[in-house]
A and B are shown apart, each in its own frame.
Chain A
């Protein structure tokens, strides 16, 4: 290789190294315009509840610091599609977890000939985040929940129906609402009549009157989405925060006995001392007169 070629190739390699070096990249960044908007990932889901209530939930996320993070404050437009048109159902803004929820009446949603609902949600994008959308198709489904109470046991009969037809061989779970996560109390698979029976525990703590909020759920089904039904039953043990005795409370009619005793003892000790001292002073005065 001739000297001129070596110099030429060396120069080219040097230029390439300089242009790709971190310092140069940073400099380019600093000189550059606005940072590029982040790509977002949208995920639409649905929860079918009693009385044709349908919750549409859109989770908006973006990869920030190598982790998918929920994006709050983004406006999401929900719509339903038929073969020929698209109907806007409403708008919702994502919460701090990145979820935008729109509650609609399932009866108002247009359906295709198979009674299927085609649902879509879209985020248009803004300066920070690129737009994204997602869609799902669900069939109307519901769970019937029937409490069965005998002298020695409690149970619930669940019936899963889709298009008012029984749905066989699906796993349905039973939960009780607690302060934080729901407590799963049972699981069963539906039979050919779409029914399943789950025994309910008899020792769960309830509210002040023993009420429990029970709900059955078919989770994330490919045809129905999530289907849920709730029921209030007085099957818990009554636990009331207010039933605790609070004798130290200002509204209590009487203070606790120990407090009365402590007060009397302290007052008697101090004022007793004062009384003795005053008596001694009277003696001092009397003796002075005698003297």
Chain B
């Protein structure tokens, strides 16, 4: 396969990063593995002792695990839909972002469901979800939706990498060990860049991008319906479907910005991930942030105005400084106010500040997921007889925190590994533009 000069230049730029693990990478991997090891110890403890080692009890049956699940799945959906839209509409500035977006979609989709498994008390009954499946159950919809989506995310990522695999296979610039050459040869599917192959691949990429967009809307809504279909205050809301879709895209876009900044710094990619890319992503954050703010206001206004007893109890908890008031405020300031303010002013629209806004926003969105799950569960419709404080109020234990950090460490570790296997910028895209 022919490799252009531009592509060769990109390969030369990335060669040191993908040919071998440098000391910095090794240190990072070591640290991340240590965090994961602590998580594994916590997991063993949880399996041996049972869920009593977590903060989850009779009332609050969901905690950090579900929060992390929604968070990672949301990021994944966001990455996928943004990649789909950027590809389908041939957005000119998409090239250095596409790889990060699809990797975000793929890796988050792997991490998210792990937290569901951590939340299940009886691993041995996991297969009951399938053999005793009820089509009427939103939980079953979610199992099907996430499995289907994960298959799509893998396919999407792979399709966008085939040409690059062929380039890695045929490149003389890269000094790769034989096993990696073999791996790229197998993954490149004999791609030689013939007219017919270009056409088939282009159709495939368009098809997957086309299906990913509505699919993300559906699967994200399905995730929201696990809550929305439940007659609980703070959950049973028609706005939850679109709210979750928008929140997913928003947090996904924020995560992509953070990863862009990290790779720009780590790989000195200022010529590829330019200030303009951050400004464009900032505009996306601005639009999504405004939409998210509107949905948030609409959700709580409706709930508050209705003054239904149970809704009022949840609202009181969210606005009371002695309960979740401060976290609610921080979540809204971080996820709505700061991104809008930073992007609205040209002087503030720098890569560093846009990334800082994105970082705060993603953190704010994580808190928001916590505020969706926990305060509602702490507001039971029926009183329970045994009212020990820990049965009513949730407080995450070190086991849950250890597994949470292990999840984030795994996400970063997978990114480091993927960034060693493929270039973080899609090499083949640059040749196409030249033609």
The verdict on A248 contacting B136 (CB below 8 Å), with A267-B144, A273-B211 known, is yes
- B215 beta carbon closer than 8 Å to chain A: yes
Q: Mark B134-164, 1 if CB is under 8 A from A, else 0.
A: 1111000000100010011001000100100
A247 touches B136 (CB 8 A): yes
Q: Mark A251-291, 1 if CB is under 8 A from B, else 0.
A: 01001100110010011011101101110110111111101
B190 touches A284 (CB 8 A): yes
A247: chain B residues within 8 A (beta carbon): 136
B190 touches A285 (CB 8 A): yes
A260 touches B200 (CB 8 A): no
- B207 beta carbon closer than 8 Å to chain A: yes
CB-contact partner of B135 in A260, A273, A274, A283, under 8 A: A260
B203 touches A280 (CB 8 A): yes
Give the distance in Å from the alpha carbon of A281 to the alpha carbon of B194 in the complex.
14
- A7 beta carbon closer than 8 Å to chain B: no
- A249 beta carbon closer than 8 Å to chain B: yes
B201 touches A280 (CB 8 A): yes
A289 touches B190 (CB 8 A): yes
B208: chain A residues within 8 A (beta carbon): 273, 277
B211 touches A288 (CB 8 A): no
B190 touches A288 (CB 8 A): yes
The verdict on A263 contacting B218 (CB below 8 Å), with A270-B152, A277-B155 known, is no
Min distance, Cβ A239 to any Cβ of chain B, angstroms: 22
A270 touches B162 (CB 8 A): no
Give the distance in Å from the alpha carbon of A144 to the alpha carbon of B155 in the complex.
81
A window 41-55: CB within 8 A of B: none
A285: chain B residues within 8 A (beta carbon): 189-190
A284 touches B136 (CB 8 A): no
Give the distance in Å from the alpha carbon of A247 to the alpha carbon of B135 in the complex.
10
- B196 beta carbon closer than 8 Å to chain A: yes
B window 177-235: CB within 8 A of A: 189-192, 194, 196-197, 200-201, 203-204, 207-208, 210-211, 215, 218
A288: chain B residues within 8 A (beta carbon): 189-192, 194, 197
B203: chain A residues within 8 A (beta carbon): 280
A window 217-270: CB within 8 A of B: 247-250, 252, 255-256, 259-260, 263, 266-267, 269-270
Give the distance in Å from the alpha carbon of A260 to the alpha carbon of B134 in the complex.
11
Give the distance in Å from the alpha carbon of A59 to the alpha carbon of B159 in the complex.
79
A280 touches B204 (CB 8 A): yes
Q: How many residues belonging to A are interface residues under a CB distance threshold of 8 Å?
A: 30
B136 touches A270 (CB 8 A): no
B191: chain A residues within 8 A (beta carbon): 284, 288
The verdict on A287 contacting B137 (CB below 8 Å), with A277-B207, A280-B201, A280-B203 known, is no
A255: chain B residues within 8 A (beta carbon): 134-136
Give the distance in Å from the alpha carbon of A286 to the alpha carbon of B203 in the complex.
16
Size class of the B contact interface (CB-based, 8 Å):
20 to 34
B207 touches A276 (CB 8 A): yes
A274 touches B151 (CB 8 A): yes
CB-contact partner of A270 in B137, B148, B204, under 8 A: B148
- Of the candidates A250, A252, A284, the one having the most CB atoms from chain B within 10 angstroms of its own CB is A284
Give the distance in Å from the alpha carbon of A263 to the alpha carbon of B194 in the complex.
39
B151 touches A250 (CB 8 A): no
CB-contact partner of B162 in A276, A284, A287, under 8 A: A284
The verdict on A287 contacting B207 (CB below 8 Å), with A252-B136, A259-B136, A270-B148 known, is no
Min distance, Cβ A257 to any Cβ of chain B, angstroms: 11
B134 touches A287 (CB 8 A): no
Give the distance in Å from the alpha carbon of A255 to the alpha carbon of B136 in the complex.
6
Min distance, Cβ A96 to any Cβ of chain B, angstroms: 16
B189: chain A residues within 8 A (beta carbon): 281, 284-285, 288
A283 touches B136 (CB 8 A): no
Give the distance in Å from the alpha carbon of A260 to the alpha carbon of B136 in the complex.
9
A287: chain B residues within 8 A (beta carbon): 190, 194, 196-197, 200
Give the distance in Å from the alpha carbon of A106 to the alpha carbon of B428 in the complex.
97
B155: chain A residues within 8 A (beta carbon): 274, 277-278
Give the distance in Å from the alpha carbon of A82 to the alpha carbon of B201 in the complex.
104
The verdict on A277 contacting B136 (CB below 8 Å), with A270-B148, A287-B196, A288-B190 known, is no
Min distance, Cβ B56 to any Cβ of chain A, angstroms: 22
A271 touches B190 (CB 8 A): no
A249 touches B136 (CB 8 A): yes
A291: chain B residues within 8 A (beta carbon): 190, 192, 194, 197
B134 touches A266 (CB 8 A): no
A250 touches B192 (CB 8 A): no
B192: chain A residues within 8 A (beta carbon): 288, 291
Give the distance in Å from the alpha carbon of A287 to the alpha carbon of B200 in the complex.
10
The verdict on A270 contacting B215 (CB below 8 Å), with A284-B162, A288-B189 known, is yes
Min distance, Cβ B296 to any Cβ of chain A, angstroms: 29
Give the distance in Å from the alpha carbon of A214 to the alpha carbon of B147 in the complex.
58
B148 touches A271 (CB 8 A): yes
Give the distance in Å from the alpha carbon of A287 to the alpha carbon of B162 in the complex.
14
Min distance, Cβ B33 to any Cβ of chain A, angstroms: 34
Give the distance in Å from the alpha carbon of A256 to the alpha carbon of B136 in the complex.
8
Give the distance in Å from the alpha carbon of A20 to the alpha carbon of B190 in the complex.
105
Give the distance in Å from the alpha carbon of A132 to the alpha carbon of B44 in the complex.
69
**Nearest A residue to B156, CB-CB:** A277
Give the distance in Å from the alpha carbon of A249 to the alpha carbon of B137 in the complex.
8
The verdict on A266 contacting B197 (CB below 8 Å), with A284-B162, A284-B191 known, is no
Give the distance in Å from the alpha carbon of A278 to the alpha carbon of B189 in the complex.
12
B201: chain A residues within 8 A (beta carbon): 280, 284
Residues of chain A touching chain B, judged by Cβ–Cβ distance below 8 Å, are 247-250, 252, 255-256, 259-260, 263, 266-267, 269-271, 273-274, 276-278, 280-281, 283-289, 291
Complex A-B: 17 CB contacts under 8 Å: A255-B134, A259-B135, A267-B144, A270-B152, A273-B210, A277-B207, A277-B208, A280-B204, A281-B159, A284-B191, A284-B197, A284-B201, A287-B190, A287-B200, A288-B194, A289-B190, A291-B197
Complex A-B, nearest 8 residue pairs according to Cβ-Cβ distance, in ascending order? A288-B190, A255-B135, A285-B189, A273-B211, A280-B204, A255-B136, A277-B204, A280-B200
| Besides A266-B218, A274-B151, A285-B190, 8 new A-B residue pairs in contact (Cβ under 8 A), listed by A number | A250-B134, A260-B135, A267-B144, A270-B148, A280-B203, A284-B200, A288-B194, A291-B194
Residues of chain B touching chain A, judged by Cβ–Cβ distance below 8 Å, are 134-137, 144, 148, 151-152, 155, 159, 162, 189-192, 194, 196-197, 200-201, 203-204, 207-208, 210-211, 215, 218
